[in-house]
Structure 1
Amino acid sequence: MPEFEEPEIATFKIWDYVVFAALLVVSAGIGVFFAIKERRNKTSREFLIGGRQMTCGPVALSLTASFMSAITVLGAPAEVVRFGAHYLFFLIAYTCVITISAELFIPVFYRSGVTSTYEYLEMRFSKVVRFFATIMYILQTILYTGVVVYAPALALNQVTGFDLWGSVFATGIVCTFYCTLGGLKAVVWTDAFQMVVMVIGFLSVLIEGTRQNNGPANVWQTAMNGSRLDILDFSTDPLRRHTFWTIAVGGTFTWLGIYGVNQSTVQRCISCKSEKHAKLALYLNLLGLWVILVCAVFSGLIMYVHYETCDPWTAGFISASDQMMPYFVMNLFSKMPGLPGLFVACAFSGTLSTVAASINALATVTFEDIVKTFFKNIPDSKATWISKGLCVLFGALCTGMAVVASFMGGVVQAALSIHGMCGGPMLGLFSLGILFPWTNWKGALGGVLTGFIMSFWVAIGAFIYPAPATKTLPLILRTDGCKLLNVTWNATLTTVLPTTLSTTAPPERSVLADNWYGISYLYYSAVGYISCIVVGLLISFITGREHGRNIKPLFIRPVCNLVCFCSEKYKKKCWCGVPHDEEDEELDQNGLKKDINLTAITKSEENPYENDMKLPPGYNEEEKSYINPDMDKECRM
Structure 2
Amino acid sequence: MNLSIRLPDALAVIAYLVTMLAIGFVSARRSATAEHYFVGHRDFPGWLVGLSMLGSIISSTTFLALPAAAYVLDWRQLTVNLMVPLVAIVAVVIFIPFYRRGGQTSAFEYLGERFGVVARVYGTLNFILLQLIRLAQVLFLMSLPMQFLTGVSLDWVILGAGVFVGLYTIAGGMETVVWADAVQAAIKVLGGVLCLAWVLHELPGGFAQVVEVGQAHGKFSLGSFDWDLTQRTFWTVAILGVMNWLNIYSAEQTIVQRYVAARSTWEARKATLLFSGIAVPVWTMFFFIGTSLFVFYRVSPDPAVAKLQADQVMPYFVLTHVPAGLAGVIIAAVLAAAMSAIDSGVNSIATVTVVDLLKPYLARGRSDRFYLQAARVATGVAIVVAMGGALFFSRLEKESMNDVSLIVFSVLGGAITGIYLIGFFTRRVDGVALNVALAFALALNLYLGLGSLKVLPEAWRIGVHSYWVGAVVNVVFMALAYGLSLLRRRAPRDLTGLTVWTMERRPDAAPKGPGA
Q: TM-score, normalised by structure 1?
A: 0.75
Q: Which has the larger radius of gyration?
A: 1
Residues in 1 aligned to 2:290 and 2:60: alpha-carbon distance in whole angstroms: 14
1:15 aligns with 2:2: no
Number of aligned residue pairs = 511
What is aligned with 2:310?
Answer: 321
- Summarize the Cα distance change of 1:434–1:602 in structure 2 as closer, same or farther, 3 Å threshold: closer
Residues in 2 aligned to 1:352 and 1:20: alpha-carbon distance in whole angstroms: 13
Query: In the TM superposition, what is the alpha-carbon distance from 1:530 to its structure 2 partner?
Result: 0.9
SS in 2 for 1:52: coil
- Summarize the Cα distance change of 1:88–1:404 in structure 2 as closer, same or farther, 3 Å threshold: closer
Letter of the 1:417 counterpart: I
Query: In the TM superposition, what is the alpha-carbon distance from 1:53 to its structure 2 partner?
Result: 1.0
Residues in 2 aligned to 1:402 and 1:114: alpha-carbon distance in whole angstroms: 32
Residues in 2 aligned to 1:78 and 1:602: alpha-carbon distance in whole angstroms: 46
- Summarize the Cα distance change of 1:315–1:323 in structure 2 as closer, same or farther, 3 Å threshold: closer
Verify the 8 A CA contact 1:149 1:168 in the aligned structure 2: yes
Corresponding residue to 1:368 among 355, 361, 366: 355
Corresponding residue to 2:496 among 553, 560, 565: 553
Q: Structure 1, residues 544-585: CA drift from partner, whole Å, max 9, x if none?
A: 3x55x5133211014xxxxxxxxxxxxxxxxxxx6x7xxxxx
The unaligned stretches of length 5 or more in structure 2 are none
Letter of the 2:472 counterpart: V
What is aligned with 2:463?
Answer: 515
1:535 aligns with 2:484: no
Verify the 8 A CA contact 2:265 2:508 in the aligned structure 1: no
Q: Structure 1, residues 176-217: CA drift from partner, whole Å, max 9, x if none?
A: 211111110100110011111111111111111111112211
1:431 aligns with 2:421: yes
Query: In the TM superposition, what is the alpha-carbon distance from 1:14 to its structure 2 partner?
Result: 2.0
Residues in 2 aligned to 1:514 and 1:118: alpha-carbon distance in whole angstroms: 33
- Summarize the Cα distance change of 1:222–1:53 in structure 2 as closer, same or farther, 3 Å threshold: same
Matches within 5 A, 1:29-428: 29-36=22-29, 38=30, 42-213=32-203, 214-231=205-222, 233-241=224-232, 243-308=233-298, 316-318=306-308, 320-333=309-322, 336-373=323-360, 374-406=362-394, 407=396, 409=398, 410-423=400-413, 425-428=415-418
Residues in 1 aligned to 2:61 and 2:441: alpha-carbon distance in whole angstroms: 26
What is aligned with 1:606?
Answer: 511
Q: TM-score, normalised by structure 2?
A: 0.92
SS in 2 for 1:85: coil
- In angstroms, what is the RMSD of aligned CA positions? 2.7
Letter of the 2:214 counterpart: A
Corresponding residue to 1:25 among 18, 24, 43: 18
SS in 2 for 1:152: helix
SS in 2 for 1:51: coil
Query: In the TM superposition, what is the alpha-carbon distance from 1:321 to its structure 2 partner?
Result: 1.5
Verify the 8 A CA contact 2:177 2:344 in the aligned structure 1: yes
Query: In the TM superposition, what is the alpha-carbon distance from 1:533 to its structure 2 partner?
Result: 0.7
Residues in 1 aligned to 2:75 and 2:364: alpha-carbon distance in whole angstroms: 53
Q: Percent identity?
A: 23
Higher relative contact order (CA 8 A, sep 6+): 2
- Summarize the Cα distance change of 1:454–1:312 in structure 2 as closer, same or farther, 3 Å threshold: farther
Letter of the 1:388 counterpart: R
SS in 2 for 1:303: helix
Runs of 4+ more than 4 Å apart? 309-315, 511-514, 601-605
Verify the 8 A CA contact 1:117 1:266 in the aligned structure 2: yes
- Summarize the Cα distance change of 1:103–1:311 in structure 2 as closer, same or farther, 3 Å threshold: farther
- Summarize the Cα distance change of 1:14–1:199 in structure 2 as closer, same or farther, 3 Å threshold: same
Verify the 8 A CA contact 2:38 2:173 in the aligned structure 1: yes
Normalized per residue, which structure has more helix?
2
Query: In the TM superposition, what is the alpha-carbon distance from 1:221 to its structure 2 partner?
Result: 1.1
Verify the 8 A CA contact 1:194 1:350 in the aligned structure 2: yes
- Summarize the Cα distance change of 1:322–1:513 in structure 2 as closer, same or farther, 3 Å threshold: farther
The unaligned stretches of length 5 or more in structure 1 are 1-7, 467-508, 559-577, 581-589, 592-600, 609-633
